[in-house]
Structure 1
């Protein structure tokens, strides 16, 4: 086998792998745009943003191969598509428990997305205490010559859940997956404490929301103004009258 043929084969392989990974990257871009729109919509309509921050991750080809081998699957691109569902990952961190399910419902309700699977580790935590809502979504990606349906794993959790999961991962990495039983018990206790904190903050959030709603009803003039892109606009009286007539 001559050198020029080997170089050509490497180029073809590189092109194939790049093209394969590219669609997953574009699927993440599409999801991040959707999240950005939801954030702005909530901020404008409700003066509140249920999403604290997001983080996307594209699995490396090396990690994909290792996972494929652990699963004992064929080393082909169709096999990867079929068996590795978390190549593209998006983590959404919310302030409160109710925000998790609100964001999930909004994403799952979008007509161009297909819900493949939902795993609720909040209502049913893992034995180690891990909590999060995992949603597998199929995202359409429009290329120059074709359309592809790409799987994206979305993890939605609170700040407390994310903090616990991050520290748990660091501890396991430090001990090379062999964590002493005593520390495992403490990690589980910490997860229970984080869950209790989430429930308490959810109650406070609900009560503060009710107080805010009452104050809005009392402040008549406040309801006549809207804020869009940091610009404040006053709603004209005829338009307010028209809206009021529409309620009858």
Structure 2
């Protein structure tokens, strides 16, 4: 086995993964604020285990002195999307970034693997600032839907268990389930607009509930105890009746009360 200090060797990869996760999570938050919808559902990352690096270098016939350039996925980022169309959009955002360089793209969605595997891969070069100066490392970004990710996770676990000898019947069943996942993605894309409208409605309703309760709680700090109690009763009544329109009216009322309290005014009317 190679006598290098693997802990030190992997440090820049670990740094790259942590920085990229933060950047893509920040991208998601910004897009959500700007457009109310972000094509990124969530982001994960990992650094290959030493045993996996050694195994892959053996399988690809890469000398251990050459793993930095011969193994492209020591650092890995996985970006999950709701819809297939989102994958293309995320890839465009990555291509436009100035803090990394896209070297290779592998489209396993259009050209899926024989096993049924589907995903979009981008090999990037990413600069990290180490204690000894800048170091550019390779990293792989995988962009896939939730359905693709579910299938790939199961397939990876089975492949690890059986190594190179995955039984033919299991291989066939995995391929069939990959097709089922692909059909599911297509069906979800077909009703994308309705899904997004439903998600937005749910999020809007959740925001109304949380904002209303937060303001009711703040009324106590302005000694508007009676008003807060009456507002809570109205909230409970609306909640029991699933009356979102009533909650919207209540939100406007308590916002007015809080605004008056902050200006040092007394509320003109009781709730």
Q: TM-score range by the shorter chain?
A: 0.7 to 0.9
Please name the residue that 2:36 is paired with.
47
The two structures have a TM-score, normalised by structure 2, of 0.67
Please give the alpha-carbon distance, in whole angstroms, between the structure 1 residues aligned to 2:135 and 2:82: 33
Q: What is the CA RMSD across the aligned residues, in angstroms?
A: 2.5
Gaps of 5+ in 1: 1-9, 216-248
Gaps of 5+ in 2: 202-271
Please name the residue that 1:144 is paired with.
131
Please give the alpha-carbon distance, in whole angstroms, between the structure 2 residues aligned to 1:65 and 1:171: 20
Aligned pairs, number: 200
Please give the alpha-carbon distance, in whole angstroms, between the structure 2 residues aligned to 1:126 and 1:26: 31
1:206-217 residue pairs with structure 2 within 5 A? 206=193
Please give the alpha-carbon distance, in whole angstroms, between the structure 1 residues aligned to 2:192 and 2:198: 10
> Is residue 2:88 matched to residue 1:101?
yes
Query: Deviations for 1:27-62, whole angstroms, at most 9, x for unmatched residues?
Result: 112211211111111110122232222221111223
The two structures have a TM-score, normalised by structure 1, of 0.73
1:61-80 residue pairs with structure 2 within 5 A? 61-76=50-65, 79-80=66-67
> Is residue 2:103 matched to residue 1:128?
no
> Is residue 2:119 matched to residue 1:113?
no
Secondary structure of the corresponding residue to residue 41 of structure 2: strand
Secondary structure of the corresponding residue to residue 64 of structure 2: coil
Equivalent pair of 2:124/2:140 in contact (CA under 8 Å): yes
Query: Deviations for 1:147-173, whole angstroms, at most 9, x for unmatched residues?
Result: 111111011110110111112223333
Query: Deviations for 1:184-225, whole angstroms, at most 9, x for unmatched residues?
Result: 222111111111110111121145568999x9xxxxxxxxxx
Please name the residue that 1:182 is paired with.
169
- How far residue 93 of structure 1 moved from its aligned partner, in angstroms, is 1.1
Q: Pick from 57, 62, 77: which aligns with 1:90?
A: 77
Please give the alpha-carbon distance, in whole angstroms, between the structure 2 residues aligned to 1:58 and 1:210: 37
Please give the alpha-carbon distance, in whole angstroms, between the structure 2 residues aligned to 1:182 and 1:212: 39
Structure number with higher strand proportion: 1
Q: Pick from 165, 183, 186: which aligns with 1:196?
A: 183
- How far residue 135 of structure 1 moved from its aligned partner, in angstroms, is 0.6
Indicate the structure whose relative CO is greater, using CA pairs within 8 Å and at least 6 residues apart: 1
Equivalent pair of 2:126/2:138 in contact (CA under 8 Å): yes
Please say which structure displays the higher CA radius of gyration: 2
- How far residue 126 of structure 1 moved from its aligned partner, in angstroms, is 0.3
Please name the residue that 2:238 is paired with.
none
Secondary structure of the corresponding residue to residue 184 of structure 2: helix
Q: State the 4+ residue runs in structure 1 displaced beyond 4 angstroms.
A: 207-213
